[in-house]
Structure 1
Amino acid sequence: MLDKLTGTLDFQARALLLRSERQRTIASNIANVDTPGFVARDYKFGDALKNVMQGDKGYVVSTGQARTAAGHLPFSRIGELSHQNDPELGYSVQAQPNLDQNTVDLDRERANFVDNTVRYEAALRFINGQAKTMLTAIQGQ
């Protein structure tokens, strides 16, 4: 019964943590815009979310010890993916060649950053709304 109540929250929580990991990756690309030879990285969010939701990949307790229960969050530390559950980072395709071989397209990275931020906030609002709905149902108001 509890699984039915927390199922959507579990999905949104995992999506939220993947969004924060993607935000960190995009921020790293932006920070290295002037680094010669730096290759921009990113991953397909949908594929990463499917991988996290399937099977028991990455179910570890927050101390990094062996898995003790299937309900534990799939991250070794809050806000950080465990090594066995890292999304497969790919390399961004270079739109315009640079003389220093840097593949960061600042306009594309800014757009990705803003898009990811909006989706992160939407997931937060959804979780907040679900929590308020459950609290109202529990209190019987």
Structure 2
Amino acid sequence: MALSFDKALGIHQYTLGIRSQRAEVISSNIANADTPHYKARDVDFSAALQDAKTRQGGLAMAQSHEKHFDLKALTEQHVKYRIPNQPDTGDGNTVDIQQEKTAFMENAIEYQMSLGFLDRKFAGLKKALKGG
């Protein structure tokens, strides 16, 4: 009987990659908090997760040349501009540093939770393979 990682690991294998990409986007927002005309962005997590679940391999790999692979992350197409919660201060920057810090911490906690879930899944698989 073949082992299906999609069935064994569930949704958590997809959430790690998406949360990692989201951490990069939020970090970019924080780094550009004082950059004039910078527009805050975020990952549409639910759309990225739905897209990841419908694809067989998780990440899409398109061959641009017979010897090259395009390893662009799946979630790049799900990065959207964030709607600002505060009025423009005059420089065109839409980053709310408090919102970004909160989003970053929340994302980090959810990333750790996904790691914990995967750890338990792998521990269960290891136990099943060893037979006890």
Q: Identify whether the pair has TM-score above 0.5, normalized to the shorter chain.
A: yes
| Correspondence for 2:80 among 75, 90, 95 | 90
| Matching residue of 1:17 | 17
User: In structure 2, what is the equivalent of residue 73 of structure 1?
Assistant: none
Residue identity in the other structure for 1:59: A
Cα RMSD (Å) of the superposition?
2.4
Number of positions where the alignment pairs a residue of Structure 1 with one of Structure 2: 125
Per the TM alignment, residue 88 of structure 1 is displaced from its structure 2 partner at its CA by 2.1
SS at match of 1:87: helix
Instruction: Give 2:69's aligned residue.
Output: 65
Counterpart of 2:19, as a letter, is R
- Structure 2 regions of 5+ residues with no counterpart? none
Whether 1:108 and 2:96 are equivalent positions in the alignment is no
* Structure 1 counterpart of 2:40: 40
For 1:86 and 1:10, the matched residues in 2 are separated by 22
Structure 2 residue matching 1:90: 3-state secondary structure: strand
Unaligned runs of 5+ in 1: 67-75
The separation in 1 between residues aligned to 2:18 and 2:68, in whole angstroms, is 18
Matched-pair identity in %? 29
Segments of 4+ in structure 1 off by > 4 A? none
Residues 126 and 24 of structure 1: CA distance in aligned 2, closer, same or farther (over 3 Å) = same
Question: Paired residue for 1:135?
Answer: 126
TM-score normalized by the length of structure 2: 0.82
